[in-house]
Amino acid sequence: MSLEGKVAIVTGGGGGFGTEISKRLVAVGAKVVVVDIVGDNARRTADALGDAAIAMEADIGKAGPVKEVITATVKAFGGLDIIVNNAGLSYRPVRVVDMDESLYDRVFEANVKSIFHFTKYGVPELDKRGGGSIVNIASTSAVKPRAGNTVYATSKAAAIAFTKASALELAKQKIRVNTILPVASLTPMLTGMFEGDNSSRIEAMEVGIPLGRLGQPKDIAAGVMFFLSDEADFITGVALPVDGGWTAS
Amino acid sequence: MAERLEGMPAIVTGAGSGIGRATTLRFVADGADVLAIDRDADGVAETARLAGNGPGRCAHAKSDVGEDGSPAEMVARCKAEFGSPRILVNNAGIGAAKPVHTTSDEDLDRFININIRALFRYAREGVAAMREAGQGGCIINIASVFGLRGFPGSSIYSASKAAVIGLTQNMAADYGPYGIRVNAVAPGLIKTNLTKSRFEDNDAFFLEGLIGQTPLGRAAEPEEVAAGIAFLCSNDAAYITGQTLAIDGGWSTTKYRPFPDDVHD
């Protein structure tokens, strides 16, 4: 696979899935703008990738910063072909009755509105290159939720619907839009959800996953790379769980 | 990604044409050793001839998957030629169903026999070999977008393909603990022998119902399905099991009818 000459934006690139996705993109010749709300994390990823990557700190739930990211991308690398909407916000399990409305808003900004902004402001740039590819990272929680996670699951269901509907809207412009549904995976997002020793929680989650383990960044990155490649030229509007069989069983 | 299936013994049914042939050629190009099976002896011999350049090897056999002895014979043949199968692609299937009210018992049995019973029996034989060898494995069942969505006139064909999707999910659960991944692909409109007459006859209803409602606006080549299958069999899909991947240009998601042009301008 080669993505030589392609320019990609990866949100949430400062850790977990986003770092792995950025690495794989660079490995096949793409230029990558690594975006993260924590600038130091974005820089750590980008620095390790040399001249092929730059870092940007941005709150992608807001239109202004997203527009700045896109402008800077085009300025740095001459265009935009690929958007990986990977950034997302999770939180410690909480019942809806105990949840602050402000957290609801932040989750929806990070997990849904970010995709809206990057589609709205990114598509004109993809269009200038004659097409492109967008991959949104949703979650298996959208189709098979766990307790304490209602608003997160709802936001990820919205991301799936956004993917399918925008795939329809953008097909004519030769822009494919797909989404990957990771199951719980060993990333900072997961470990950050629990205090202290979380090994018993992780073991509990592994039960019920037929392949017997949680996801890993490389699993998700591999799925993203497939969607971005020419191999997936006839695939659009698809929601692919990468979940060791969790949603199938 | 050349040779990402290097040295993997594989069985592909219905390999004499279309998706089965394309999958065989793709696997061999990726380094797998493929036993290509079809009831059409000439077709599958031609597939093997086309696969001649390697780097993987290709053997071929005439066998009707609907016959009871076929799975055991072909798994034994694969073991003898290349070793115990690590990959099984259940591609053989029949199409051209009729609406329920004009489907005879004979038609019904034919679809159930080939599209479900034979596939189930191949999967059973394959999984037994994979468990015995203890190295895990990968089974790909060819379903159809008609197993995900209704389409006029496809009655028992749709039902048989929906059954394949159900079996795929179940087998993922049963055999995940043994490192055996089971996935399906759901092709949309692909240019194969199964759909050839629709193109030749310019079947307006069929073509409008599919191409006209496919966001990417075209039918696909068998190689595009083979690419998805090769991905699902590769290490890149090591954590993917129980899934049905639509390779359909967006048809099953949207049943898209294009906007008037001005919406896009």
**Do B239 and A236 lie within an 8 Å CB cutoff?**
no
Residue B16 per-residue DSSP state: T
Q: Answer yes or no: is pLDDT of A22 > 60.
A: yes
Mean pLDDT of A123-145: 97
Query: Could you read off the pLDDT of B239-257 as tens digits, one per residue?
Result: 999 999 999 999 998 776 6
pTM of the model: 0.87
Q: What is the pLDDT of residue B259?
A: 56
Average pLDDT, chain B: 93
List the single residue in A222, A236, A249 with the smallest CB-CB distance to B216: A236
Model confidence band, residue A16 (pLDDT cutoffs 50, 70, 90): very high
Query: Could you read off the pLDDT of A190-241 as tens digits, one per residue?
Result: 877 777 777 888 888 888 899 999 999 999 999 999 999 999 999 999 999 9
Q: What is the pLDDT of residue B168?
A: 98
Model confidence band, residue B261 (pLDDT cutoffs 50, 70, 90): low
Name residues whose C-beta falls within 8 Å of residue B250's C-beta, 6 or more positions apart in sequence.
A167, A168, A171, A236, A237, B214, B215, B216, B256
Question: Alpha-carbon distance A139 to A154, whole Å?
Answer: 10
- In this prediction the ipTM stands at 0.78
Question: Alpha-carbon distance B125 to B133, whole Å?
Answer: 12
Mean pLDDT of B182-187: 98
Contacts of B173 in chain A (CB under 8 A): 210, 245, 248-249
Give the range among A195-204, B44-53, B154-163 with minimum mean pLDDT: A195-204
Residue pointed to by tokens 């898209």: B256
List the single residue in A164, A210, A237 with the smallest CB-CB distance to B172: A210
DSSP sequence for B183-209: EEEEE-SB-SHHHHHHHHTT-HHHHHH
Q: CATH assignment of B9-191+220-254?
A: 3.40.50.720
Name residues whose C-beta falls within 8 Å of residue B124's C-beta, 6 or more positions apart in sequence.
B71
Taking a C-beta distance cutoff of 8 angstroms, is the pair A25, A45 a contact? no
Give the range among A26-40, A181-195, B214-228 with minimum mean pLDDT: A181-195
Q: What is the pLDDT of residue A161?
A: 97
Q: Answer yes or no: is pLDDT of B1 > 50.
A: no
- Given the candidates 3.40.50.720, 3.30.565.10, 1.20.1420.30, 1.10.3720.10, the CATH classification of the domain at A7-242 is 3.40.50.720
Query: Could you read off the pLDDT of B80-106 as tens digits, one per residue?
Result: 999 999 999 999 999 989 999 999 999
Q: Any idea which residues of A carry the catalytic annotation? A: 152
First and final CA of chain B: distance in angstroms? Answer: 39
Name residues whose C-beta falls within 8 Å of residue A64's C-beta, 6 or more positions apart in sequence.
none
**Do B172 and A248 lie within an 8 Å CB cutoff?**
yes
Average pLDDT, chain A: 95
